[in-house]
């Protein structure tokens, strides 16, 4: 693989797992510390949206995955 760009993540968060949208146009990132999931444009690496579950101290959403049809994004982790 060839590095094509870099992205600043949520302050203090370490990326843990990514999930590529079935269409290949978006990438979801789950973090090992923090209850935020970011979605980036796969081509430009621009942040498209972010989702946060509960308070920032409620654990993490380190594991992410798209539904087969790409209509839903799932996040799981610790509490």
pTM for this predicted structure = 0.83
Q: What percent of the chain has pLDDT over 90?
A: 43
Residue 71 pLDDT grade (very low, low, confident, very high; cuts 50, 70, 90): very high
Q: Is residue 38 predicted with pLDDT exceeding 70?
A: yes
State the average pLDDT over residues 61-79.
91
Q: pLDDT, tens digit, for every residue of 48-68?
A: 998 887 666 667 888 999 999
Q: 3-class secondary structure for the chain? A: CCCCCCCCCCCCCCEEEEEECCCCCEEEEEECCECEEEEEECCCCCEEEEEECCCCCCCEEEEEEECCCCCCEEEEEEC
């Amino acid at each position: 693989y060839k590095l094509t760009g870099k992205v600043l993540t949520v302050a203090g968060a370490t990326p843990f797992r990514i999930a590529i949208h079935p269409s290949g146009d978006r990438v979801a990132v789950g973090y090992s510390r923090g209850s935020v999931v970011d979605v980036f444009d796969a081509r430009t690496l621009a942040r498209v949206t972010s989702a946060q579950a509960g308070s920032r101290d409620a654990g993490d959403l380190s594991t992410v995955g798209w539904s087969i049809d790409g209509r839903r994004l799932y996040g799981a982790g610790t509490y």
